[in-house]
Amino acid sequence: MRVSILALFVLGILVSANVAKAGPSTTDRDLQASADPAIFADEATQETEDQIGLDKARRRDVQRRMTRLGFDTKINGKFDDRTRAVIARWQAARGYPKTGYLNTLQHQALLTESVSVANASIVDSDKSDGDRPARRHGGGGAHHHRGGGGPGGLIGGVVGGLFGRR
């Protein structure tokens, strides 16, 4: 009985909700489609990575961006074996030759991709913040007791919440 009431309640919310605002993100995250084919053909090496001029701060930035994209790595500014493996996984996921080193075009693609994903998540979080009710903190207010479930408990809880308990 509780399950059917809950299901009807959820169904009512879904039907009355504005689907355009409440639905999942429709942001296009397939960033490969607009990438230059030359990026995929050029293999990256230690030499091509050195040409980018990544100092310790920029290496940390690369590590942070990889982590934000779901390729977790330690953010220490050093491209050790673990970071090289993460770069290779990112390259494989994007269709690049898996070398573990970046070239200029791949570095630019990483910068563009992580900015696009960050902007999409900021927009998504801005939309969802207004949809959530504010939390109430502090003492006082109604005190609820356990038990008394079922439709009677639900109705009693709603009526008690509307008129307050004294």
Please give the model's pTM, rounded to 2 decimal places.
Answer: 0.50
Q: List, for residues 50-94, the tens digit of each pLDDT value.
A: 999 999 999 999 999 999 999 999 999 999 999 999 999 999 999
**Annotated domain spans of the chain:** 36-119
CA 26/CA 7 separation, integer angstroms? 26
Coil, strand or helix: which one is 33?
coil
Q: List, for residues 4-54, the tens digit of each pLDDT value.
A: 676 666 656 655 655 445 445 444 444 444 455 554 567 889 999 999 999
Tokens of 10: 């959820």
Can you give the C-alpha Rg of the chain in angstroms? 25
Residue 20's pLDDT is 46
User: Which region holds residue 97: left if phi is over 0, alpha if psi is between -120 and 50, else beta?
Assistant: beta
Residue 114's pLDDT is 73
Look up tokens 């091509």; give the residue: 48
Return the half-sphere exposure (C-beta side, CA atoms, 13 A cut-off) of residue 115.
6
Nearest to 117 by CA among 2, 15, 31, 36: 31
User: In the chain, which ranges are continuous DSSP H helix?
Assistant: 2-16, 19-22, 37-41, 46-52, 56-68, 81-94, 104-131, 150-163
Q: What is the DSSP string of 120-150?
A: HHHHHHHHHHHHSPPP--SS-S----S---H
